[in-house]
Amino acid sequence: MLFLSNPLALVFAGIVVFAALGYTRAAVQHTGRAPRRAYIVVGLLFTAVLLRLAANTVTSVLIDVWTYRARSTAEQWLSHTLGTAVTGVDAQSRTLYIRVRSPGDMPPIKDLLSDLEEQLPSGILVVVDTTRGQQITAGKVGG
């Protein structure tokens, strides 16, 4: 989505620069009427860019909130097991990857998944990566 908003932002910036430099006045003098179509196009482009940027911002904030919640929940899940720690949480598509450093066995994965159900929206797949090279698919939150 961000890829599509960049060209629109560039076009909009060009229109604003040309308008600021007085090209609209030259068009009015040449044709004798105000360029209403240009104003409508500028308004539509401005709206399209703002909507896309707002959607990108909301998506980024939600992903940050969800990864923070997943990290803190996973840290609580591992808090009673000595030598374990959460080294990171990554979001890719609708999957959260929780990276865990663990010298031995970890608590039951089902406990983590049930704790995450209170923190994350339904349908997000949770995968736990351990430093021992094990990748455990915990399941989907809420189902």
pLDDT tens figures, 55-98: 888 999 999 999 999 999 999 999 988 888 999 999 998 899 99
State pLDDT tens for residues 95-109: 999 999 988 888 888
Phi, psi of 139 (to 5 degrees): 125, -175
Total-model pTM: 0.71
In whole numbers, what is the pLDDT of the chain averaged over residues?
Answer: 82
Averaged pLDDT for residues 21-36: 61
CA-nearest of 115, 113, 121 to 63 is 121
Q: What is the torsional sign of CA 116, 120, 121, 126?
A: negative
Averaged pLDDT for residues 15-39: 64
